[in-house]
Amino acid sequence: DRLPSDAELCVEFDVSRMTARNAMQRLAEDGLIDRQPGRGSFVAEPPAHRRANRLMTFTQEMLRRGRVPSSRMLTRVIRPSSAAEATSLGIPHRQPVVHLRRLRFADDEPIAIESAILLGSCADAVMTADLSRGSLHETLARSGYVLRRGTGTIAAAAATAEEARLLGLRTGDPLLVERRVIVDAHGRRIEATESVYPADRYALDVQFDVEAPDLTGAEEES
């Protein structure tokens, strides 16, 4: 469907043209609309995969695909951090952290095993929250932990016996592994998470620039 023009949005919502334009640009950046010069803005086809350069919650992502998200809690404890976890979060070794491990479903199909390590100060927000249907990031935001940006890596791995059992795979089947560290608006590292996905059920879309080749050496040789 075609969306109203920026001018029509200004009239309908009584906002400035700049506000309307910024809102439409944000929808375009999120992949929700397709802006076609000379034709207007149209509702975009739902993306098959999440963009690698943008993180949305699992709940948001599955709802956007028209699927029903849910989770089964595997681990929810407060414990001392390991050396690697402390390094990821920038805290002293053995400082308390919250460890959440969940099996994530879409339409009752297992999609991911997600293991999140959170600062110990998040305990009051997440230890009693209903995370079977709700979003961890929304729970954190309601308690003042608004996550803003992060860094991550994407790798491949073979399913362990436990991962295969939980995801309905065979031991050794290929997995997509996403590791990320997320910070809040103040630059504090709040969450270090590893998400493991069956390779045939999940993927990440990547947008990139092509780096210009260095022709200096070729010019010198000629």
Sole residue written with tokens 């491949």: 156
Return the pLDDT at 46: 62
pLDDT surpassing 60 at residue 48 = no
% of the chain residues with pLDDT over 70: 94
Record the pTM.
0.75
pLDDT surpassing 60 at residue 27 = yes
Distance from C-alpha of 55 to C-alpha of 195, rounded to nearest angstrom: 12
Sole residue written with tokens 């709940």: 59
For the ranges 58-72, 128-142, 153-167, 205-219, which has the lowest average pLDDT?
A: 205-219
Return the pLDDT at 74: 97
Distance from C-alpha of 142 to C-alpha of 135, rounded to nearest angstrom: 11
Distance from C-alpha of 145 to C-alpha of 34, rounded to nearest angstrom: 32
pLDDT in tens, 81-132: 999 999 999 999 999 999 999 999 999 999 999 999 999 999 999 999 999 9
Return the pLDDT at 56: 77
pLDDT surpassing 70 at residue 221 = no
Return the pLDDT at 41: 92
Q: What mean pLDDT value characterizes the chain?
A: 90
pLDDT surpassing 80 at residue 47 = no
Nearest residue to 188 (alpha-carbon basis) of 217, 145, 152, 156: 145
For the ranges 20-34, 75-89, 102-116, 188-202, which has the lowest average pLDDT?
A: 20-34
pLDDT surpassing 60 at residue 61 = yes
Nearest residue to 140 (alpha-carbon basis) of 183, 110, 169: 183
C-alpha atoms less than 13 angstroms from C-alpha of 155 in its C-beta half-sphere: 9
Return the pLDDT at 203: 84
Q: Is 214 helix (H, G, I), strand (E, B) or coil?
A: coil
**Banded pLDDT at 146 (limits 50, 70, 90):** very high
